[in-house]
Structure 1
Amino acid sequence: MAQESGVQYEPVAEIGGGAYGTVYKARDRQSGQFVALKSVRVQTDQDGLPLSTVREVALLKRLEQFDHPNVVKLMDVCATLRTDQETKVTLVFEHVDQDLKTYLNKAPAPGLPSSQIQDLMRQLLCGLAFLHSNRIVHRDLKPENILVTSRGQVKLADFGLARIYSCHMALTPVVVTLWYRAPEVLLQSTYATPVDIWSTGCIFAEMFRRKPLFCGESEVDQLGKIFQVIGLPVEEEWPADVKLKQHNFSQLSPHGPCPITEVVPEISHQGAELLLEMLTFDPLRRISALNALDHPYFQEG
C-alpha cells in the first residue's frame, strides 16, 4: 500500500456522499487524469492494519490484473496512520462522469431504444459474471453505482466495499435504499451471488419504465410491493431461519403473479421471460449471470 494520498492526488470536487462516506473527484498530479477517491477510517490491530481490510483490498487489487472492461479500475490504495488505533485507507478508482441513474434521466422521451437497453444489460451481466466468478458479491447494486462512460461502456463500481466498510457503516446514519434488495436480504436470511441478480432484474425493469420497479418504505413494505408483482411465494419456498413468516403476508395477495408486461409494458416477450428468471423468489432457482448472458433475449434484434 502506498503511504500518502494527499501528495499525489489533488481533490477537485466532492462527487457525492453515500453509505461509504464522501467521494471526491481528484486529479492525479503525475498523469493529469481524473480519479475518484473513497476513504474509510479503520480500526487497527497491533501491527497497524486490520487484517480483514488488508485481505479485502488485496482481493480487489488482484482483480486488476484481469483488466475487465465492465468493472471500474482500482488504480491505487493509500494508507495513512491517523492515530495508533486508526488508519485512513483511501481507495483510488478511475473516474467516470455519469452513473446509470443520470444516464436514464438524460435519455430523451420515450426513453432508451430497446437495442441500447439490451447492450447495457449485456455489459452489466458481463461485469457481474466476472465478479461472481471471483467470489465477489456486490451486495449493493443500484443505478447509482453502475457507471456509464460517454461511449456507452458500463462499469460496475463499489463492489467489495460493503465488506471493507461494514464495521464503519454501523456508525453512519445514511439511509440506504431498499428498492433493489433481494427478498432473502430483506428477510435477513443467508445470501450469496443471487442477490446481485435480483438487483439487476430491478434495474432491467427500470431501464424500460424510467422509474424504479419496487419503491418500498420499509423491509415489510418492500416485500409487499414485490409480492404484488411476483405473487406470494408458497410456504415451502419460504426460508426457515427468518422472523417474518409467509402468513404475515397472506392478506396481501390471494392472486398469483401479475403479468410482468403490465408492470413493464415496453419489454419484449424474451425480455419479460429473462426478467422473471431474475425476479425469482427462491435464490437457488434464480438465473445466474452466466446463464442470463446465454438467454435468447440477447439474440434478439
Structure 2
Amino acid sequence: MFAANATPIMSGAHVGNKSDDEFYSVEVAPDSVFLVLKRYQNLRSIGSGAQGFVCSAFDLILQKNVAIKKLSKPFQNATHAKRAYREFCIMNLVHHKNIISLLNAFTPQKSVDEFTDVYLVMELMDANLCQVIQMELDHERISYLLYQMLCGIKHLHAAGIIHRDLKPSNIVVKSDCTLKILDFGLARTANSNFSMTPYVVTRYYRSPEIILGMPYKDNADIWSVGCIFGEMLRGTVVFQGSDQIDQWNKIIEQLGTPSNDFMERLLPSVRNYVANRPRFPGFEFERLFPDILFPADCRQSQLTAASARDLLSKMLVIDPLHRISVEQALNHPYIKVWYDESEVNAPAPKVYDHSVDEQEHTIEEWKQLIFDEVSRYEQLAIQKVFGLFVQENGSADQMPQQNMQENASKNQN
C-alpha cells in the first residue's frame, strides 16, 4: 500500500489536532522530502519551480489522483512568506472551473514554533501550456483555450485580484482541453495603493506599464494573454528580452514607439530614457502574424486567421488605455462562439482583503499569519462535519473523534 521509498506509520487523516502517526515521509527527489498525510499515496515528482515542488498522489479518501504542492522554503525571507500567505488565501477564496481548485491544505507541524512546511492539495492536470504550445492546434482549440483563460481571469478580477504572472507554465490543461489557471503567489489587488514592483513578474509576458513602472490595472493580464496567444501561433516567445531594457526594446521594435500621450504619463526619469531611444514605426499585424502562422479557417466563419489576428492586435496594445478589456475580449467574435453565461459570469468571489499586503511584517509575523490561516481552514472543515452529524443524528455524543477527522477530510473539497 505504501510507496517503496516511504516510511509508513499508522493510518490517519488529519484535520485539527495532529499526531505523528497521521503522517509519513517520502523522498520524492534528491534533497526533497514530503511529510504528508497517509491518505495520500504513490507520490511521484511532476515538477518544481521558484515557488514550490509538486508531486502527484492518489487520495485514498477522495479516490482520485491529486497534485500536492510543497511551498518552497516559505519562511526564508519576508517576500517568500508573503507570497505563501497570498497564494493560500487566494486559492481558498476563488472557486471557478477555470481556476485550480484547493482540495486540502495542511502542515505536519503542531505549533507555530515548529512551523516550517505548507502543503497545498489541488486537482491534478495532464500538462501545462508550454507543452500544448508545441502541438499543432486548430482554431477551435486555440479560441477555446483563450476563452477559458479569460473566464478565469474575469473571476479573479471580480475579487479585485490581478494575477500579474500569467505565462504558459502557470496554465494547466487536461487532455479534453479543459484549462485552469494556477500560481497566485505574485497576484496583487487591483486597488492596492502601494508600489507594485515590476521585477517579480516573468519578463517575457510583462506588460509595458509594468516594465516602465507605471500604475497598472487589471488589463495588464490581457497583455499577458496576448503574449501567450501570439506564442501559440508562432511557437516561440513573442517578446524575448534579455533584461528589462531589452524587453522594452523588443516590444517597440515590433509594435512601434508609443504616442506622446503615453510618454507624458511616464515618470520623468523613465520618460527621458524612453524618449531618447531610437523611434520605431512598428509593423502591421499582417506582417507580424502572417496567414501562414494560422491554422486553416474553421467552417464557423468567425474562427479565421483574420478574426484571430484582429483579437491579437487589440490585446497587444502598448497603451493600456487603448487595450481591450476582459469583457470586450470575451465578446470578440473569435471568442464569443464559446460564450456561456454561467461560466463568464459565475458567482463572484468575496473581494480579497489586501490589508495584510499593505503592511510590512517580520518573518515570524508572517509565520503566525499563515499558521492561523491553515489552522482556520482545518477547523472550518471540522465544524462543517460536526454540524452535518448533529443535523442527521440529533446529537454529537456518539460521534467518535477519529470519525470526525476522517469525515472532515472527506468534506474539505
Pair in the same fold by TM > 0.5: yes
Distance 1:215 1:232 in 2: 17
User: TM (normalized to structure 2)?
Assistant: 0.60
Distance 1:242 1:31 in 2: 57
Structure 1 residues 29 and 262 mapped into 2: Cα distance closer, same or farther (>3 Å)?
same
User: Counterpart of 1:101?
Assistant: 130
8 Å Cα contact 1:187/1:242 also seen in 2: no
Alignment match of 2:181 (pick from 140, 156, 171): 156
Distance 1:230 1:125 in 2: 23
Residue 246 of structure 1: how far off its partner (Å)? 5.5
User: Counterpart of 1:252?
Assistant: 278
Distance 1:26 1:176 in 2: 30
Q: Which structure has the greater CA radius of gyration?
A: 2
User: Counterpart of 2:351?
Assistant: none
Equivalenced residues, count: 277
Structure 1 residues 225 and 119 mapped into 2: Cα distance closer, same or farther (>3 Å)?
same
Q: State the secondary structure of the residue aligned to 1:161.
A: coil
Q: What are structure 1's unaligned runs of at least 5 residues? A: 45-49, 165-174
CA RMSD of aligned residues (A): 3.0
Residue 144 of structure 1: how far off its partner (Å)? 1.2
Q: State the secondary structure of the residue aligned to 1:281.
A: coil
User: Counterpart of 1:172?
Assistant: none
User: Counterpart of 2:61?
Assistant: 30
Select the structure with the greater relative contact order (CA < 8 A; seq sep ≥ 6): 2
User: Counterpart of 1:90?
Assistant: 119
Residue 161 of structure 1: how far off its partner (Å)? 2.1
8 Å Cα contact 1:194/1:288 also seen in 2: yes
Structure 1 residues 33 and 261 mapped into 2: Cα distance closer, same or farther (>3 Å)?
same
Q: For residues 1-301 of structure 1, what are the structure 2 equivalents within 5 Å? A: 2=15, 6-7=36-37, 8-10=39-41, 12-40=43-71, 41-43=73-75, 57-64=88-95, 68-81=96-109, 84=113, 86-105=115-134, 107=135, 111-158=136-183, 160-163=184-187, 177-238=202-263, 239-241=265-267, 243-245=269-271, 247-248=273-274, 250-255=276-281, 257-266=282-291, 267=294, 268-298=305-335
8 Å Cα contact 2:141/2:177 also seen in 1: no
2:36 counterpart letter in structure 1 = G
After superposition, the C-alpha distances for 1:121-146 in whole angstroms (9 at most, x for unaligned) are 11211111111112221111111111
Residue 250 of structure 1: how far off its partner (Å)? 4.3
Distance 2:46 2:181 in 1: 17
8 Å Cα contact 2:166/2:224 also seen in 1: yes
Residue 285 of structure 1: how far off its partner (Å)? 2.7
After superposition, the C-alpha distances for 1:227-254 in whole angstroms (9 at most, x for unaligned) are 1121111232134337433644644333
8 Å Cα contact 1:20/1:38 also seen in 2: no
Q: Which runs of 4+ in 1 moved over 6 A?
A: none
1:195 counterpart letter in structure 2 = A
Residue 259 of structure 1: how far off its partner (Å)? 0.9
Distance 2:83 2:128 in 1: 29
User: TM (normalized to structure 1)?
Assistant: 0.80
Q: What are structure 2's unaligned runs of at least 5 residues? A: 1-13, 17-22, 24-34, 189-199, 295-304, 339-413
8 Å Cα contact 1:70/1:154 also seen in 2: yes
2:329 counterpart letter in structure 1 = A
Structure 1 residues 17 and 79 mapped into 2: Cα distance closer, same or farther (>3 Å)?
same
Q: 116-125 or 233-242: which moved more?
A: 233-242
Residue 85 of structure 1: how far off its partner (Å)? 7.0
Q: State the secondary structure of the residue aligned to 2:239.
A: coil
8 Å Cα contact 2:36/2:108 also seen in 1: no
